Structure 1
Amino acid sequence: MATLYPTILLCVYGFFSSTRPSEPFLTLYLTGPDQNLTETQVVNEIFPIWTYSYLLLLFPVFLATDYLCYKPVLVLQATSLVVTYVMLWKARGVLAMQLLEFFYGLATATEVAYYSYIYSVVEPENYKRVTAYCRSVALFGSAAGSLIGQLLFSMAGVELLYLVIITLVSATVAFSAPWFLPMPKRSLFFHKNPRATEDSPSRRSCSSQIDKVEDLQSQVSMLSRSSGAGAQNGGLLEVLKMLLKDLVQCYKSRPLLTWSVWWALATCGYFQIINYAQPLWETVRSSPDDSVYNGYVETLSTLLGALAALLVGYLPVSWSRWGELALCVLSMLMAVCVFVMDLLKNIWVCYSSYVVFRATYMLLITVVTYQIAASLSMQRYALVFGVNTFGALLLQTLLTVIVVDSSGLNLNVTTQFLIYGGYFAMISVIFLLAGLYRLASMRGSKEEGLDDVQAESSSSSNNDVTRSM
């Protein structure tokens, strides 16, 4: 019962906070009569604020989450979501929408509290099951929200403004849930549970394959479980020293470093694609009167991505041997999808390419997640997950400043996608070279080992001849 009550509340919160019928139509709403903004204002002046605020707030929010024992930050996230959709409903103008993006960045950064709260009130033996419940419910809420929005928009003729209001109602329902959660008495390193052990078997795997599928914002939340062994009620300096020490220890492993580099590079590009796909779709549509099916596309891509992630466990691939080449081939597939979306100028081809792109990314990020987690304790792989995602956000910020922002190149969305396609092609080339180098190294090691065996055999034969004489 002690576990059931907070789990139910967290599932309610996760479902309703992720149910956003207006999300697939955000660009259409902002450029439509309700907001009357231009595509340039939306793409180059408003959307980049989310990236900047997310990166800026991520690390201080992560520390505050553990220090304040999660619940206050969870309430802050719920409040931020409500403020976001109230502003989307009532506020007007570029400056107001930029402020809205800041609050949405705050809501994204504070998502750390949702996933880390679980580990403060649930016993270690229940981590995996409760995490699966919460993440699956959030994923289902996201897919359900996109589907509901599409059905209301295309079949019932509901105006986009009312989809925003429905999303606000869902966020308001979610807002009520965290207030009833019990206040944790421990956290993972500022207020450490003395019974916790770093290598406890029940802590080594806290999420199933489907847990590792989605939107990478939830991956950031795993950072809150970062290495805290020995930091009982420790200060900030001690915590930072432990994080740095564990981080250096983790990245000494070459395979782990390889997987982490792909994580950061690919996630940066993935964030850019999903952030700016809707503006591209608006330019590809041949007429403003054409039917819009963004909701169906988001629903299908979410569900197929989850299915692709589940298939990872059944693929007969030696990822430790062929991983770099697999990353090369599938990264090139993602590059092709981006180029096709941008160049063919057909909305159905664009939709299909987006679904393939997103499903491919979810499959690969699951493989990468598993490969990293397999060799580390829970606390260490949580640290690596968080730092990898922070690296992705840092790269995304640089890419946004240079390519998207009005103070940078200020490129239109079509040109941006050409650059993003080239970016994924570059990732593919990097891992092609890494894969070839690895295979050459393995072959060299085998030949060296064979030479050693032959030399040893020859020496043994000579010794036998000498003794016989």
Structure 2
Amino acid sequence: MLCESNMPVVYPTLLLCVYGFFSNLRPSEPFLTAYLMGPDKNLTETQVVNEIYPIWTYSYLVLLFPIFLATDYLCYKPVLVLQATSLVVTYVMLLKVQGLLAMQLLEFFFGLATASEVAYYSYIYSVVEPAHYQRVTGYCRSITLFGSAAGSLTGQLLLSVAKVQLLHLVIITLASASVAFVAPWLLPMPKRSLFFHSPGVAKERPQSNSTALLEKTEDSESKVPLKTQDASLISRSAEAGSHRSGLVDVLRMLFSDFLQCYRCRPLLAWSVWWALATCGYFQVINYAQALWENVRPSHDYEIYNGYVETLSTLLGALAALLVGYLPVCWSLWGELALCILSLLMAVCVFVMDTLRNIWLCYSSYVLFRATYMLLITVATYQIAASLNMQRYALVFGVNTFMALLLQSLLTVVVVDSAGLGLDVFTQFFIYGGYFAAISLVFLLAGLCKMASRRRSKQEVLASSPEETESDSPPVSAASSC
């Protein structure tokens, strides 16, 4: 627990946790497709899947980078208020308005709220000291997962036990969003930010014990150029401290850091998987309800989407926690692990698509989400281990942007009525093939990496005894973990 002398830390952390819990407490979320296709909105499956849901993807993509810059320039709090407002508007529209165009506008506001999540996860770093980063990050991230799971479970219990209508779940979700709307207004206004209002010299991001252990097993090429504060970065940071950086200066700095970060091959490999897998993950979870609705129509049978979302969220959180205890040298076996687990995700999607049994669909979905949460946590650790706080935000933002760009292209071609407008079963067959292709890419990458390591070791053994004695420790260190 945080001691009394750290009350300035407790107050914003508590408010952020309240906001994170209630903004993610959405009992109607697991039943959104059934609600839109039911008597309350009376939309067709084609309208929901091919014309409404794609708007969220496009909105998220278009708004992500402007919101990222606005969040830093406005010092987080105004964007948190914007997110809270967007959520309230979203659920007011879901409750009150009718028609295709109105639902598309609703998806735009939800995309705005989703893009604004960057303010929630970065605000706390501007008001607390680095010594508290790890603890407050854990609080804020875990409370959002708990809120999401609680919302899904509440919705299912109300639907199955209390026999409430889906409309009532939307009302409860709106009430929760309204409670969340109050919290950002009470937060203190930060006086600094990462880029536009940064201090004189950029501070190193403190590492947790798990991150420090990961750093020890990293290849040397992934640490040296990224973790150190080079002279150009210090001079730029000092200039930012003396006066507010202009937009052009910030963009130039971001582009320079972007080029330097992605020259690191291990970081690039994890980032490629991040972008590819997150694209497919978003598509699967966005359209899973439509698939379930075809397998087990809600107007004919009782559905259990809420239980499934609750279980998958909790298992995903558990998988993320287990990452730190897995005896795997990710720097050595990472590509092959990504290959095997991406193939498992592909199998889960194929099972959902081809067998068309609702219980197998539910089980495969839970396993799919848990696997993704485990791997994305590993990717987060592996990328963050060699980055300072400034580049941490940049790389994660770029990876998310690339995932959304790929998702938008996939949506235009496969889902959108302007493209092929395929039915949901054909879509999931394509998503299964997509994850199988990711698995193949990282199988080839893993084999190439192992062959490269073997050649390097043979070259060391073939060299002179003096060179062998001086060069062998790095090789044995790399292979012993």
State the TM-score, normalized to the length of structure 2.
Answer: 0.88
CA distance 1:155–1:451, change in 2 (3 Å): same
Matches of 2:183 and 2:321 in 1, distance apart? 30
Q: Retained in 1: the 8 A contact 2:26–2:152?
A: yes
**Pairwise CA distance, 1:193:** 2.8
Show structure 1 runs of 5+ residues with no match: 210-226, 458-469
Q: Retained in 2: the 8 A contact 1:128–1:206?
A: no
CA distance 1:107–1:208, change in 2 (3 Å): farther
Match of 2:136 in 1: 130
CA distance 1:206–1:302, change in 2 (3 Å): farther
Match of 2:237 in 1: 229
**Pairwise CA distance, 1:178:** 1.0
Matches of 2:297 and 2:114 in 1, distance apart? 34
What is the letter of the counterpart of residue 72 of structure 1? Answer: P
SS of residue paired to 1:177: helix
Q: Say if 2:422 is the partner of 1:406.
A: no
Q: Say if 2:300 is the partner of 1:295.
A: no
Q: Say if 2:391 is the partner of 1:380.
A: yes
**Pairwise CA distance, 1:379:** 2.0
Matches of 2:143 and 2:438 in 1, distance apart? 33
> After superposition, what is the alpha-carbon deviation per residue over 1:226-284, rounded to whole angstroms, capped at 9, x for unaligned?
x8834231100111111111111111111111111101000000000010000000011
Q: Retained in 2: the 8 A contact 1:131–1:206?
A: no
Matches of 1:13 and 1:206 in 2, distance apart? 28
Match of 1:64 in 2: 70
Q: Say if 2:205 is the partner of 1:197.
A: no
**Pairwise CA distance, 1:206:** 11
Match of 1:221 in 2: none
Q: Say if 2:377 is the partner of 1:366.
A: yes
Stretch moving more, 17-26 or 183-192 = 183-192
SS of residue paired to 1:35: coil
Q: Say if 2:285 is the partner of 1:274.
A: yes
Aligned length: 437
Match of 1:160 in 2: 166
After TM superposition, list the pairs within 5 Å mapping 1:324-335 onto structure 2. Answer: 324-335=335-346
What is the letter of the counterpart of residue 150 of structure 1? Answer: Q
**Pairwise CA distance, 1:113:** 1.4
Stretch moving more, 362-371 or 164-173 = 362-371
SS of residue paired to 1:16: helix
Moved over 6 A (4+): 206-209, 454-457
**Pairwise CA distance, 1:443:** 0.7
| Same amino acid, percent of matched pairs | 76
Q: Say if 2:23 is the partner of 1:3.
A: no
Q: Retained in 1: the 8 A contact 2:79–2:119?
A: yes
SS of residue paired to 1:256: helix
CA distance 1:456–1:243, change in 2 (3 Å): closer
Q: Retained in 2: the 8 A contact 1:198–1:229?
A: no
Matches of 1:454 and 1:186 in 2, distance apart? 55
**Pairwise CA distance, 1:55:** 0.5
Matches of 1:108 and 1:454 in 2, distance apart? 59
Show structure 2 runs of 5+ residues with no match: 1-6, 213-232, 469-481
Q: Say if 2:428 is the partner of 1:417.
A: yes
Stretch moving more, 366-375 or 426-435 = 366-375
What is the letter of the counterpart of residue 127 of structure 1? Answer: Y
Matches of 1:85 and 1:287 in 2, distance apart? 21
Q: Retained in 1: the 8 A contact 2:194–2:390?
A: no
Match of 1:214 in 2: none
Matches of 2:253 and 2:465 in 1, distance apart? 47
Match of 1:84 among 81, 90, 94: 90
Matches of 2:39 and 2:285 in 1, distance apart? 24
SS of residue paired to 2:440: helix
Matches of 1:21 and 1:110 in 2, distance apart? 21
Match of 2:268 in 1: 257
Match of 1:140 in 2: 146
CA distance 1:456–1:37, change in 2 (3 Å): closer
> After superposition, what is the alpha-carbon deviation per residue over 1:203-231, rounded to whole angstroms, capped at 9, x for unaligned?
x459999xxxxxxxxxxxxxxxxx88342
Matches of 2:209 and 2:292 in 1, distance apart? 37
Match of 1:51 in 2: 57
What is the letter of the counterpart of residue 48 of structure 1? Answer: P
Q: Say if 2:464 is the partner of 1:453.
A: yes
After TM superposition, list the pairs within 5 Å mapping 1:170-185 onto structure 2. Answer: 170-185=176-191
Matches of 2:94 and 2:204 in 1, distance apart? 46
Match of 1:436 in 2: 447
**Pairwise CA distance, 1:369:** 1.1
Match of 2:113 in 1: 107
**Pairwise CA distance, 1:116:** 1.6
Match of 2:125 among 119, 129, 140: 119
> After superposition, what is the alpha-carbon deviation per residue over 1:181-208, rounded to whole angstroms, capped at 9, x for unaligned?
11222212211133x63325x3x45999
Q: Retained in 2: the 8 A contact 1:268–1:395?
A: yes
State the TM-score, normalized to the length of structure 1.
Answer: 0.90
Matches of 1:456 and 1:317 in 2, distance apart? 30
Q: Retained in 2: the 8 A contact 1:24–1:278?
A: yes
Cα RMSD of the aligned pairs, angstroms, is: 1.8
SS of residue paired to 1:334: helix
SS of residue paired to 1:92: coil
What is the letter of the counterpart of residue 64 of structure 2? Answer: L
Matches of 1:286 and 1:17 in 2, distance apart? 29
Q: Retained in 1: the 8 A contact 2:211–2:381?
A: no
Matches of 2:362 and 2:51 in 1, distance apart? 25
Q: Retained in 2: the 8 A contact 1:132–1:207?
A: no
Q: Retained in 2: the 8 A contact 1:205–1:378?
A: no
